[in-house]
């Protein structure tokens, strides 16, 4: 049984709303179905009761039983949704049923407990999709005495969730990190070298089904001096696999790198064609492994890293994040990628 049940409440202007639109389940998600769709202007869907509420994000598709609207994010139990179509107004809602909390924080990245003073961002990963709109009420930075630090994060109106709603990207306020800017000069960095801090996630944070987390989560960190040196691919160690195996290609970095970017901006190519496979990250984000779908064949390959790859302080491959306004800025040639060749040798040793 699903942890929510369907409930439709007709507004006064929609005498037969059940025949015009209903909530149904598709692929374990609640979607809006307009049966008997005959074309015309698409319905408008928004959260009911909010003045000037924007449309619910999602996509329409014409299917065998009618027009289907799939919301980009899970519908929230307890909220009502207003549908305007053909001059009629319908209000539909999901009613939650009681269930025990099961969602929890899986991890906070970077995995390492040692962060630079100018740490740019971190990721909070959950075991199930989460609700939106309450991140900065539920997420806190505590000092060594357990006191909350005021306004350490960049509080965006549109929270930075991945498509599954399980990973949140949290930025420290860049104005307080970058030297020479007024917020930095007035308040300093949120993290201070030599300090110890705790990132705390409240248990009251609700998942996508409106249920609180199973437990509070904390991560303790120790802060070291700021890092203003861009990562240098020449310092990366590449261990090539053997021909005829599906052993992992291993790349080791001298410092932890941004996990979210590691997962998507490094690839393996041969003859200008991407090699299919999966990526594994370990060693506190200092080890990147690539396991191919098919066995390696002998020959030359290319490890291609996009220049937007960052370390923990937001320094990219072709430029540092923080350039002091009083320093001279040298001309740089910005490359889109950094290419590192490697060879899978044949069994004969050639």
Q: Which residues contact 315 (CB under 8 A, 6 or more apart)?
A: 227, 228, 229, 230, 231, 321, 322
User: What confidence tier does 3 reach under pLDDT thresholds 50, 70, 90?
Assistant: very low
**Do 4-96 and 233-344 fold alike per CATH?**
yes
Task: Among 5-14, 71-80, 115-124, 232-241, name the one with the lowest average pLDDT.
Answer: 5-14
pLDDT at position 308 over 80: yes
Each residue's pLDDT tens digit, 229-272: 999 999 999 999 999 999 999 999 999 999 999 999 999 999 99
Q: Identify the architecture of domain 4-96 in CATH.
A: Sandwich (2.60)
Each residue's pLDDT tens digit, 169-192: 999 988 778 776 766 666 678 999
Each residue's pLDDT tens digit, 52-86: 778 899 999 998 888 999 999 888 777 889 898 87
CATH for the stretch 105-224:
2.60.40.1220
Q: H-type helices in the chain, by residue range?
A: 17-20, 135-138, 174-177, 182-187, 259-262
Q: What percent of the chain has pLDDT over 70?
A: 86
Topology adopted by domain 233-344: Immunoglobulin-like (2.60.40)
User: What confidence tier does 300 reach under pLDDT thresholds 50, 70, 90?
Assistant: very high
pLDDT at position 328 over 70: no
pLDDT at position 97 over 80: no
Mean per-residue pLDDT over the chain, rounded: 86
User: What confidence tier does 203 reach under pLDDT thresholds 50, 70, 90?
Assistant: very high
Structure tokens at 163: 């498509």
Residue 143 contacts residue 189 (beta carbons within 8 Å)? no
In the chain, how many H helices and how many E strands? 5, 24
Count the residues in the chain.
350
Of residues 23 and 15, the one with the higher pLDDT is: 23
Q: List own/partner pairs for 91-94 with CB under 8 A and 24 or more apart.
A: 91/9, 91/10, 91/11, 91/48, 92/7, 92/8, 92/9, 92/17, 92/21, 92/22, 92/23, 92/32, 93/7, 93/8, 93/9, 94/4, 94/5, 94/6, 94/7, 94/23, 94/30
Global pTM reads 0.72
Domain chopping of the chain, boundaries: 4-96, 105-224, 233-344
Q: Give the separation between CA 271 and CA 66, rounded to whole angstroms.
A: 46
Q: What are phi and psi of 266, to 5 degrees?
A: -120, 135
Q: Give the separation between CA 199 and CA 235, rounded to whole angstroms.
A: 31
Structure tokens at 173: 């306020």
DSSP state of 43: P
pLDDT at position 331 over 60: no
Each residue's pLDDT tens digit, 206-225: 998 888 999 999 999 999 99
pLDDT at position 19 over 70: no
Give the residue carrying structure tokens 């619910």. Answer: 56
């Amino acid at each position: 049984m699903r942890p929510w049940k369907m409930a439709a409440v007709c507004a006064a202007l929609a005498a037969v709303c059940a025949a015009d639109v209903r909530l149904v389940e598709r692929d374990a998600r609640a979607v809006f179905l307009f049966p008997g769709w005959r074309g015309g202007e698409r319905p408008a869907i928004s959260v009911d009761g909010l003045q000037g509420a924007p449309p619910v994000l999602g996509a329409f598709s014409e299917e065998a039983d009618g027009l289907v609207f799939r919301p980009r994010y899970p519908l929230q139990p307890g909220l009502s949704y207003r549908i305007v179509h053909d001059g009629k107004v319908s209000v539909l809602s999901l009613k939650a049923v009681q269930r025990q909390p099961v969602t929890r924080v899986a991890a906070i990245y970077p995995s390492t407990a040692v962060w630079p003073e100018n740490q740019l961002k971190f990721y909070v990963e959950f075991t199930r999709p989460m609700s939106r709109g309450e991140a900065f009420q539920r997420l806190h930075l505590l000092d060594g005495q357990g006191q909350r630090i005021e306004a350490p994060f960049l509080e965006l109106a549109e929270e930075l969730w991945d498509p599954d709603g399980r990973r949140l990207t949290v930025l420290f306020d860049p104005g307080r990190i970058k030297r020479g800017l007024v917020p930095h000069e007035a308040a300093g960095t949120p993290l201070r070298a030599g300090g110890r801090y705790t990132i705390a996630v409240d248990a009251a944070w609700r998942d996508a089904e409106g249920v609180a987390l199973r437990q509070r989560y904390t991560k303790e960190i120790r802060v070291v001096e700021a890092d203003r040196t861009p990562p240098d691919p020449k310092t990366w160690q590449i261990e090539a696999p053997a021909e005829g195996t599906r052993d992992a290609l291993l790349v080791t970095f001298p410092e932890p790198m941004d996990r979210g970017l590691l997962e998507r901006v490094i690839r393996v190519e041969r003859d200008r064609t991407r090699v299919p496979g999966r990526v594994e990250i370990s060693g506190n984000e200092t080890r990147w492994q690539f396991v191919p779908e098919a066995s390696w064949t002998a020959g030359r390959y290319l490890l291609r890293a996009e220049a937007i790859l960052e370390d923990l302080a937001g320094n990219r491959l072709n430029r540092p994040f923080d350039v002091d306004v009083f320093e001279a800025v040298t001309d740089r040639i910005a490359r889109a990628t950094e290419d590192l060749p490697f060879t899978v040798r044949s069994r004969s040793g050639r």
